[in-house]
Structure 1
């Protein structure tokens, strides 16, 4: 890797190496180890090790306990989510959310995920007097019905299994899936179908459907989900909502590319 200088002429090689390592981990299709990073960037293993230890201390990256390889950590992802929340993503997605709300008269949420929390970054409330709602900025649990399944489906298997092994799955309602094996089956189903559903799994009397907004194969930039009371948001309406949500996501991806 070649050294760079700032516009002022000042050189900070270790900083450039740190960003190069972060970028390499971010762009990788699978997790990388120290040897992988050193080879790809043509820098010594000892240098990579030293930089990575500092990045781990700052929670910019994390080391997987199972594979001993590295992935982005909550600090960097949280900062990225803040940037996305404030600029293009919300502006691009909002009109599609309004169209979905107009069509189905149910509340629509847009959210992001940083492996620690799911955060609502935009919403369009149902026009009904009695509705499901939550403020922008609300963090919702990782195991939150359809939304949780979609974001978990975007993780690599070793990361996903570590999360399931390290955390107990809460029982929010009598329909909550608390068995890790059953939840893995639901997550695999979400991967194959490109959406997830829940019938009163997170909130009693509330159904939900969720569709990912991917930024590359296997990685989800965000997700769009619709929730409603069981009386109005029944299985037939949910089926129609899935079709409309997937169509909206396709249009959102096209808009983001442009």
Structure 2
């Protein structure tokens, strides 16, 4: 499948920002089931390129002149292939598996998460991951705007509602309680009749007999050729598409538009 992707992020500020630095993880890489045909990132300044510890392409934007707006535009095409039961296989990024068993602020387990993790059967096969994903959705209904970007897995479980980021963090937290390596994935999906889901988050789980298995908790299915992965890490903070800090600006307004169009490969 060929995915044509357009992503625009605009920050507007109430007063001029004197200094800002943004870290962009907005560039896909060639990986299992994914081939980047073309990709372009446009920003209002020079982008310094590097690769982070997880193998993600990282662009750093530093603006030292006063500005009231930052507009980031991304566009490109990626060819994708189906993944059998979400199987990626390889260990991308060179980070030891043990790193993905350690809790983070966003995936710290409380009593509720430990109970949820204990209610699911074996997590050594793909079917067990689907069972856990279904259980998570039973506990946390999808509701746009129900949580914030800084909300934790425990926050979402306590509220009983959340979005794909929360579902992913809960899956990761449950896997880590069971000693199973799991990592967060940010990217895009062909949402069909639900274009608002085009910017998405899902999870990779390591199964010893298989390798990495990619699963979309919010839909209860394995990630496959409708998905374009952009970045991976221990949680959202490590794989966020855009993160930054600034001096000045006062109130901030954010506008994000993402479009994904899919065509079958000939």
Normalising by the smaller structure, the TM-score range is under 0.3
Kindly indicate which of the two structures has a greater share of residues assigned to helix: 1
- Taking structure 2 as the reference length, the TM-score comes to 0.25
Larger RCO, structures 1/2 (Cα 8 Å, 6+ apart): 2
| TM-score, L = length of structure 1 | 0.25
Larger Rg: 1 or 2? Answer: 1
